[in-house]
């Protein structure tokens, strides 16, 4: 069963305070800075599609890919109440292996999707997918857990509580670090209380996350002919450091003509 499958139904509630509009605007500004003529976007690991809807509203043609049927069901439900069906589509697939019959001006992969690629093979495959679907001159925008900050400000137990008219949700996150593998297991316990009948359901999942360092990111990108053009703290753009858990990388693909002199 996929990582988010057990609680995809509660995903939007859990992240209702997430600034999707601000994040979409942040991505839009990066696109306008490095690929101002961009018209098409491929989102690898689109989740419930909220970034994609906002980007489509800005005029982009967007394709979202996710391997979770539950997430895509929510994404398509969100899409069904919008007027974007001609410029936004969602499709199921594994970002390590999916191959579409088209290329895009921009590839994005947000909300730490790359940190869910926990092995070197996983990362290489995901970066290869991005490169395969990127037009010459295109850009690849992604964020991840940043190694120096994870080690300097180690993860701790966190509790998040949210509710709406029908349910209340308590999510407990208990981390276990694996420093020799650059991994953190985040063990989630999610308690969902149905307010009408006072029934409580419990869900448990472990999300294994990889924290990344700039040299290894650069190495993986270089293998696929991509080069970093900007890196900065997610949403602020400030220089990454020991206090920047989430870092956004923008990489460009320039296809050189080997016959040119």
What pLDDT does 254 receive? 78
Summarize pLDDT for 198-210 with one digit per residue, the tens.
988 898 989 999 9
Give the global pTM: 0.91
204 vs 225: CA distance, rounded Å: 40
Q: Is residue 7 very low, low, confident or very high in pLDDT (cuts 50, 70, 90)?
A: low
Q: Note whether 228 and 241 are within 8 A (CB).
A: no
Query: What's the DSSP call for residue 221?
Result: H
Looking at domain 5-147+212-253, does it have CATH number 3.40.50.2300? no
Report which DSSP code applies to 20.
H
Q: Map out the domains of the chain as residue ranges.
A: 5-147+212-253, 150-210
Quick check: 6 pLDDT over 50?
no
Which pLDDT score is estimated for 23? Answer: 98
pLDDT-derived band at 104 (thresholds 50, 70, 90) equals very high
Confidence check: pLDDT of 107 > 90? yes
- CATH match for 150-210 among 2.120.10.80, 3.30.70.100, 3.40.50.10310, 2.20.25.110: 2.20.25.110
Shortest CA distance to 184 belongs to which of 159, 157, 218?
157
| pLDDT exceeds cutoff 50 at 57 | yes
Dump pLDDT digits (tens) for 184-196: 999 999 998 888 8
């Amino acid at each position: 069963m996929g990582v988010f499958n057990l609680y995809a139904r509660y995903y939007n509630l859990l992240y209702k305070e997430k600034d999707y509009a601000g994040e979409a605007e942040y991505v839009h500004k990066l696109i306008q800075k490095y690929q101002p003529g961009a018209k098409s976007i491929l989102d690898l690991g689109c989740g419930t599609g909220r970034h994609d809807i906002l980007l489509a509203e800005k005029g982009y043609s967007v394709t979202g890919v996710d391997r979770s049927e539950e997430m895509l069901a929510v994404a398509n439900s969100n899409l069904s109440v919008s007027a974007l069906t001609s410029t936004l589509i969602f499709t199921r697939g594994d970002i390590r292996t999916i191959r579409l019959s088209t290329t895009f001006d921009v590839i994005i992969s947000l909300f730490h999707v790359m940190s869910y690629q926990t092995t070197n093979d996983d990362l290489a495959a995901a970066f290869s997918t991005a490169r395969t679907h990127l037009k010459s001159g295109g850009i690849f925008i992604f964020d991840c857990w940043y190694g120096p900050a994870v080690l300097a400000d180690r993860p701790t137990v966190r509790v998040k509580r949210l509710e709406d008219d029908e349910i209340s949700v308590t999510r407990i996150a208990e981390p276990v670090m694996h420093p020799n593998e650059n991994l953190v297991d985040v063990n989630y316990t999610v308690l969902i209380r149905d307010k009408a009948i006072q029934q409580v359901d419990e869900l448990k999942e472990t999300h294994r996350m990889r924290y990344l360092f700039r040299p290894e990111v650069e190495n993986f990108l270089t293998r696929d002919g991509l080069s970093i053009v900007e890196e900065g703290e997610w949403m602020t753009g400030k220089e990454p450091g020991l206090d920047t858990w989430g870092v956004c990388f923008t990489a460009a693909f320039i296809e050189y003509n080997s016959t040119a002199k």
